[in-house]
A = this chain, B = another copy of it.
Amino acid sequence: MTATNGRPQAGGDAANGRPGNGSDAVHTDTVSTVVRQWQAVHPELDTGPMEVIGRINRCAALLQQAEDAPLRRAGLSRPEFDLLGALRRTGHELTPGELVRETFSSGAAVTKRLKQLTERGLVERRGDARDRRVAHVRLTDAGRDLVDGILPEQLAYETTVLSALAPEGQGELAALLGDLLSRLEGRTGVLRA
């Protein structure tokens, strides 16, 4: 459980942090294989970060596929659901600009999605009286019902997916990711550099 930071020499276990797991139950996840390959080719490099970032990326990819299953049944993509969800969880109307911020997507993407969701009757828009540039978007009843119907399925699905981890493991993971995320989000400078 020593250095992830300082040269994980031989064996990918360096970043593994757990006490006695050297031999049994070898992690056969693809990332550890990839890391081993890199270390064989470039033994001088510290591949520690890969073990974290590679896994985050890969988990995200796999989980999104998994999560998408309940959504697709409802004919929604994940970004569409995110948009509807933002409206639902805030509980009030949002402007397109606010939706951009809530869903972390570009303005153009939000415009397109709103168009489609409006056509499907899931959201409505009205203009602002004072400032005619801005629009206000709200869920229709159908939109709200759809979100409320999907969300429990979604969470149940996620629960089973995460059941690979013990509850304490899930807590740890959430906490660690929270640490990382709050720093990442706080220091946007790091990201834009």
A interface residues (Cβ-Cβ under 8 A, vs B): 1-8, 12-18, 27-32, 34, 37-38, 40-42, 45-53, 55-67, 69, 88-91, 104, 148, 151-152, 155, 158-162, 164-165, 167-187, 190-193
> Could you tell me the distance between the alpha carbons of A63 and B177 in the complex, rounded to whole angstroms?
12
Are A168 and B15 interface neighbours, CB within 8 A?
yes
> Could you tell me the distance between the alpha carbons of A32 and B13 in the complex, rounded to whole angstroms?
28
20 contacts between A and B (CB under 8 A): A3-B167, A4-B171, A15-B168, A15-B170, A16-B172, A16-B174, A16-B175, A28-B185, A29-B181, A29-B185, A37-B90, A45-B152, A49-B170, A52-B173, A52-B177, A58-B104, A59-B177, A61-B104, A65-B192, A162-B180
Are B59 and A155 interface neighbours, CB within 8 A?
no
Are A52 and B162 interface neighbours, CB within 8 A?
yes
Are B55 and A178 interface neighbours, CB within 8 A?
yes
> Could you tell me the distance between the alpha carbons of A27 and B41 in the complex, rounded to whole angstroms?
39
Residue of B nearest to A90 (CB): B37
Are B171 and A6 interface neighbours, CB within 8 A?
yes
